[in-house]
């Protein structure tokens, strides 16, 4: 027997007994096959080692706890596309290895911590929390608990985010719709059609009358991916069903040059280009692993991607900016700069492409020459949000309730105090270039003068807003069960109800058809 230090991870499907009964043997076996494939792919990608598989559970180990947390977060999100929720428990400690099998107190602790977690939850011990401090993960204290068969109480935490927030548990409706697509290959088309027809009957009982578009040949019973609003009458006039789904993603829609771009997926993320009139998929661009919405920008006929990295020989950080042709998906050019972009962002506006590095350094890239034209020291502390608009480069230091206004023409900056932890949603053109700030936490919109920095009193919204656009004489906010509309002239607010099963988490405007596209995030965000 020998002992070795390891981070142990236990994964279990929530409600597996009921699922197995409801699905029947053949469909349950097919679901388990798909589940195991997803889990093994994520374990391999994050450097984990599968130790044991028992029915619907997994036991794996990692050398580093941060890898384990990333794997757990990606597994929680990935298996939801199958209609499943899992619970995960993680602990780091010395394990006993006997004949190639791991055991000991550390293994028992990991299994017992998993038993405490709920659907779509990852719980970790205080040991893990201490070891991953400063690694970019967010944890919530869940107090001390007695673990069955383990002496003494253990302090535990719940993982809430690894760059992006963990998803909420699936609603029964979403889970049923996705599980309906799990069909054993041997059953053939007739079996699949019968299942989807049954799901369609259930969906029809709760749905509002809609003009339903089809996306990629997906059956009408599939989950809603997008909702279209007619801005003139302020009413839903169509939906797009089926994959790809924007589940677990908020603020992930952009309307650019006749294309509706949607950021979908979790760890294996991609950009989907859709027809702006119908919502049908035109193309898909794969993104690097562990990518972030903040590292994508559109402009000058291109998609711009910011990818952080390192010079392996020297260990110094560098950033790669890739310019991708919107139509062909071909990379037109690659710009490499020395600097840390791990918590930086990229944006377009004011005639340039802008990259904000983690240390507050701002780069201006000329889209004609594809070269860095100038660099500035902004001294920004928070570097995730950059909006170049109205002649300035606006950096939201949201956690400090401040907005930094940087002038790329003079190199000067000014910091304004704002009443909420808000970010810039858009620019109003009816009464000059008034800026609108959206605060998802307090569910408010606040107007701001870009010259003086003066803000008006915040205006409350009825839902849980995640993204807003200024279009058609109003500010429109995707806010969960509703879309909130704030009239720019009267400041009157109205709300537009979303169809059953839709949680509005993103929004983009199409000026040609006077329409708005709403992305269905699938569930409420963690703070809703």
- Answer with the one of 131, 166, 201 that is the final residue of a domain: 166
What is the average pLDDT across 190-218? 38
For residues 16 and 156, membership in a common domain is answered with: yes
Greatest mean pLDDT among 46-55, 96-105, 373-382 lies in 373-382
Q: How confident is the model at residue 151 (pLDDT cuts 50, 70, 90)?
A: confident
**Is 481 among the domain residues?**
no
- Residue-level pLDDT at 287: 83
Provide, rounded to the nearest whole percent, the portion of the chain with pLDDT above 70.
88
Residue 324: inside a domain: yes
Give the Cα separation of 364 and 473 in Å (integer): 32
The answer to whether residue 490 is domain-embedded is no
CATH no. for residue 103? Answer: 3.30.70.1230
Separation between Cα atoms, residue 344 and residue 304, nearest integer Å:
14
pLDDT mean over 498-506: 88
Distance, CA of 365 to CA of 161 (rounded, Å):
32
Tell me the C-alpha distance between 478 and 506, whole Å: 6
Q: 184 or 144: which carries more pLDDT confidence?
A: 144
Residue 105, φ and ψ in degrees, nearest 5: -60, -40
Number of domains the chain contains: 2
Does some domain include residue 224?
A: no
Residue 222: inside a domain:
no
pLDDT digits 0-9 by tens, 400-434: 788 889 998 888 999 988 877 777 777 877 666 78
What's the CATH code of the domain at 398? 2.40.128.630
Domain end position, chosen among 108, 139, 166? 166
More confident call, 47 vs 248: 47
Length of the chain: 528
Residue 38 in domain: yes
* 352-381 residue pLDDT tens: 999 999 888 999 999 989 999 999 999 888
Encode 482-507: b = buried (16+ Cβ within 10 Å), e = exposed: bbbbbebeeeebebbebbebbbbbbb
Weakest-pLDDT range from 73-77, 218-222, 245-249, 268-272: 218-222
pLDDT computed for residue 11 by the predictor: 95
Give the HSE-up count for residue 487: Cα atoms under 13 Å, Cβ half-sphere. 8
Among candidate residues 133, 166, 199, the one where a domain is terminated: 166
* 214 pLDDT higher than 70: no
The pair of three-digit structure tokens given for residue 269, joined into one six-digit string: 């993320």
Specify if 207 maps to a domain: no
The per-residue pLDDT for range 114-127, each reduced to its tens digit, is 989 999 999 999 99
Distances (CA, A) of 465 to 171, 249, 472, 525: 20, 13, 19, 10
pTM assigned to the model: 0.57
Segments forming the whole domain that contains residue 346: 292-416
* pLDDT at residue 61 tops 90: yes
Instruction: Summarize the confidence of residues 505-523 as an average pLDDT.
Output: 87
Structural domain includes residue 199: no
8 Å CB contact between 233 and 504 = no
Whether 393 contacts 385, CB under 8 Å: no
CB count, 10 Å around CB of 104?
Answer: 17
């Amino acid at each position: 027997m020998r002992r070795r230090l390891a981070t142990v991870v236990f994964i279990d499907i929530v409600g597996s007994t009921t699922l197995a009964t409801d699905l029947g043997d053949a469909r349950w076996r097919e679901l388990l096959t798909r589940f195991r494939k997803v889990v093994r792919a994520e374990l391999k990608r994050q450097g984990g080692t599968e130790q044991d598989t028992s029915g619907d559970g997994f036991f794996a180990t990692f050398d580093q706890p941060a890898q384990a947390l990333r794997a757990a977060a990606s597994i929680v999100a990935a298996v939801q596309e199958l209609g499943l929720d899992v619970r995960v428990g993680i602990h780091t400690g010395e394990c006993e290895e006997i004949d190639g099998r791991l055991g000991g107190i550390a293994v028992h602790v990991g299994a017992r911590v998993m038993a405490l977690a709920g659907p779509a939850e990852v719980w970790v011990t205080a040991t893990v929390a201490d070891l991953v401090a400063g690694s970019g993960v967010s944890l919530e204290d869940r107090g001390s608990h007695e673990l069955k068969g383990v002496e003494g109480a253990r302090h535990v935490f719940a993982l809430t985010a690894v760059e992006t927030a963990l998803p909420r548990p699936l609603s029964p409706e979403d889970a049923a719709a996705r599980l309906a697509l799990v069909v054993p290959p041997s059953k053939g088309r007739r079996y699949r059609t019968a299942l989807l027809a049954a799901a369609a009957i259930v969906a029809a009982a709760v749905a509002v009358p809609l003009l339903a578009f089809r996306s990629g040949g997906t059956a009408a019973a599939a989950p809603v991916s997008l909702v279209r609003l007619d801005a003139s009458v302020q009413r839903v006039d169509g939906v797009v069903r089926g994959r790809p789904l924007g589940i677990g993603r908020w603020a992930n829609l952009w309307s650019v040059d006749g294309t509706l771009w949607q950021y979908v997926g979790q760890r294996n993320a991609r950009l989907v280009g859709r027809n702006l009139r119908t919502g049908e998929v035109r193309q898909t661009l794969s993104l690097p692993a562990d990518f972030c919405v903040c590292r994508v920008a559109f402009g000058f006929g291109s998609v711009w991607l910011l990818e952080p990295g390192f010079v392996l020989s020297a260990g110094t950080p560098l950033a790669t900016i890739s310019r991708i042709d919107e139509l062909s998906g071909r990379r037109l050019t690659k710009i490499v700069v020395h600097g840390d972009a791990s918590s930086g962002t990229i944006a377009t506006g004011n005639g340039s492409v802008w990259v904000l590095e983690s240390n507050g350094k701002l780069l201006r890239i000329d889209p004609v020459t594809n070269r860095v034209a100038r660099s500035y020291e902004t001294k920004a502390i928070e570097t995730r949000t950059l909006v170049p608009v109205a002649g300035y480069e606006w950096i939201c230091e949201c956690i400090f309730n401040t907005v930094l206004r940087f002038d790329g023409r003079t190199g000067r900056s000014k910091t304004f105090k704002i009443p909420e932890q808000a970010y810039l949603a858009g620019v109003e053109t009816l009464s000059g270039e008034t800026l609108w700030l959206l605060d998802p936490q307090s569910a408010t919109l606040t107007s701001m003068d870009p010259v003086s920095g003066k803000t008006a009193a915040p205006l409350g919204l009825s839902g849980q807003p995640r993204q807003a656009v200024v279009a058609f004489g109003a500010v429109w906010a995707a806010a969960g069960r509703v879309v909130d509309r704030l009239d720019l002239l009267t400041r009157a607010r109205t709300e537009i109800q979303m169809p059953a099963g839709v949680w509005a988490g993103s929004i983009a405007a199409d000026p040609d058809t006077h329409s708005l596209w709403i992305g269905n995030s699938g569930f409420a965000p963690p703070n809703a």
